[in-house]
Structure 1
Amino acid sequence: MDIFSEIFFQRALLGGLFIGITAPLLGIFLVLRRLSMIGDTLSHVSIAGVALGFLIHVYPVAMGLVFALLASFAIEKLRRTYKTYAELSIAIIMSGGAALAAFLFTMGRNFNVNVTSYMFGSILTLDNKDLWLIAGVTVLVVVFMVMNHKEVFLLAFDEDAAGISGLPVRLYNIVITMLTALVISVAIKIVGALLVSALLTIPVACSLLVAKSFRSAVWTALLYSEVGVLGGLSLAGVGNYAPGASIVLLLIAMLMGTLLVRKGFKTA
């Protein structure tokens, strides 16, 4: 249990605590809007930015964040262009991000080992700069959601009604996509780019099985998320396992447990 007294692990737990708050807050909106795959898309683009950061010797997380933000604007632009086939925007940006990341990997083979930690997560690489960035993003997400919870609720369930009521739908879509990009960019060092979308979706999937209202779904998703992130990180620290994999596998186990309990109540 000495791992819990290590500064680097305490930073990881604190970073996980923050990510455990932000991911489900945005995830429930994305799931209800059927935009679950946007997490995978932005994470692929973020890795391309991280790779470029290593290549030009610029703070990798910052470059990943910039790339993800640019991708969020591109997604919204393509969604408006292909209104009937909105999922095309996600497929196009995802393939472009993956291709760019692969191209940059070939240009900087000497930093591929460093980029791997961003793809699969590494608690050892989380420093104070990363922690402050994660904390800042958490504050932005929480403040936005608290101040705009009614608008987000309406937008999540009926975008047309939101537009008719005078809500600036386009602006809200852009802001939420940008916030999602920020969360994914700062989360990849904890859980890894290949698994980060699980934080946006699995806690929400659990909460939708048991929640009776939108508000209870949000709080339940937060609870599942925090238990999954902090529990997974603790398991990884004690057993020397991959942190991202531990978090996601624990979340999946929680989802399966919730399904079994819910099925048991129905058959009782």
Structure 2
Amino acid sequence: MSTLIHYFSFSFVQYAFIVGVLISLCSSLLGVTLVLKRFSFIGDGLSHVAFGAMAIAAVLNLSNNMYLVLPFTVIAAILLLRTGKNTKIQGDAAIAVISVSSLALGYLLMNVFSSSANLAGDVCSTLFGSTSILTLTKAEVYLCVILSIAVIAAFIVFYNKIFAVTFDENFAQAVGTHASLYNLVIAVIIAIIIVLAMNLVGSLLISALVIFPALSAMRVLRSFKSVIICSAAVSVVCSVSGLLISILAGTPVGSTIVAVNLFVFVVFSVAGKFLK
């Protein structure tokens, strides 16, 4: 306890927990929708796009890459939504094309134009979020708070519409709901969440942060609202636990949080078998 109190006296640790709680809360909100719509891999696709955008920002020596990464990822989310409905390029194929291309081009740019003396370390930190959560500036924390509030507010305001397009998009359209518009809202919110989550777990592990809490909650609960509430609670607890373990054990932050999420998923899966 004394060790934790000592660490919490540092502002960068306080920033990490503030951002960690907000990101985990936002990530859990739409995880249930993505699982039910069979669109779980969009997190992987958008995270790879974000990695490519971060590589471009690094090449351009931008002081704050968020202003480049966020628009790129939002545009990619919209493109995935559009191409996913194209009969020539189905949703899973579109995600594969965009994600693999972005990841490869991003790494290529970092190799060709990088001036860093530790390229391997930079790439590892970006992909797995090993230290980025502990190097946040006050401006980045403020931006994360603003975007998180926007995401939570949008989810609350559009909750009924998101519920409708999640379970029966055709019926929602038949009763006058603009399903394509709300699918677009979902895609943009997911893009914002992905960009925020990169600082916590890295681009390769983001899907776990979005999907695992939802899957855990769905093992033991059945109603949409209860699953979302449980998913949010599980996500926050796992992120805080992962951060605490990482600080005390000196393990990589992103990998530790994902490992905690995996452990909780196994526990909920076993509990779900007894509750049936």
Find out whether 1:87 has 2:97 as its counterpart.
Answer: no
Q: Residue in 1 aligned with 2:15?
A: 11
Find out whether 1:43 has 2:51 as its counterpart: no
Post-superposition CA distance 1:168-220 (Å, at most 9, x none): 11111112111111111111111111111111100000010111311100000
- How far, CA to CA, are the matches of 1:149 and 1:245 in structure 2? 31
* 1:31 alignment partner AA: V
Higher mean displacement: 180-189 or 54-63: 54-63
Aligned to 1:61, which of 51, 61, 66?
Answer: 66
What is the aligned-residue RMSD (CA, Å)? 1.6
Inter-partner Cα distance in structure 1 for 2:275 and 2:86: 46
Q: Confirm whether residue 104 of structure 1 aligns to residue 109 of structure 2.
A: yes
Following superposition of structure 1 onto structure 2, how do residues 214-225 of structure 1 map, counting pairs within 5 Å?
214-225=224-235
- The aligned counterpart of 1:206 is 216
Of 151, 165, 170 in structure 1, the residue corresponding to residue 161 of structure 2 is 151
2: CA distance between counterparts of 1:26 and 1:214?
11
Between Structure 1 and Structure 2, which shows a larger proportion of helix residues?
1
2:247 corresponds to: 237
Letter aligned with residue 100 of structure 2: S
Counterpart CA distance in 2 for 1:129 and 1:248 is 26
What is the rounded CA distance, in whole Å, between the counterparts of 1:115 and 1:171 in structure 2? Answer: 36
Give 1:261 deviation, angstroms: 2.1
CA distance in 2, matches of 1:119, 1:43: 9
SS of match in other structure, 1:57: coil
Q: Shift of residue 236 of structure 1?
A: 0.4
Q: CA deviation at 1:115?
A: 4.2
| Residues in 2 aligned to 1:83 and 1:181: alpha-carbon distance in whole angstroms | 24
Aligned length: 266
> What is the distance in 2 between the residues matched to 1:166 and 1:215?
23
Percent of aligned pairs sharing the same letter:
29
Tell me the secondary structure at the aligned position of residue 110 of structure 1. Answer: coil
Structure 2-normalised TM-score?
Answer: 0.92
Unpaired runs of at least 5, structure 2 = none
- Unmatched 5+ residue regions in structure 1? none
Could you state the TM-score of these two structures normalised by the residue count of structure 1?
0.94
Separation in 2, partners of 1:39, 1:22: 13
Offset at residue 265 of structure 1 (A): 4.2
The CA distance in 1 between the partners of 2:123 and 2:68, in whole Å, is 13
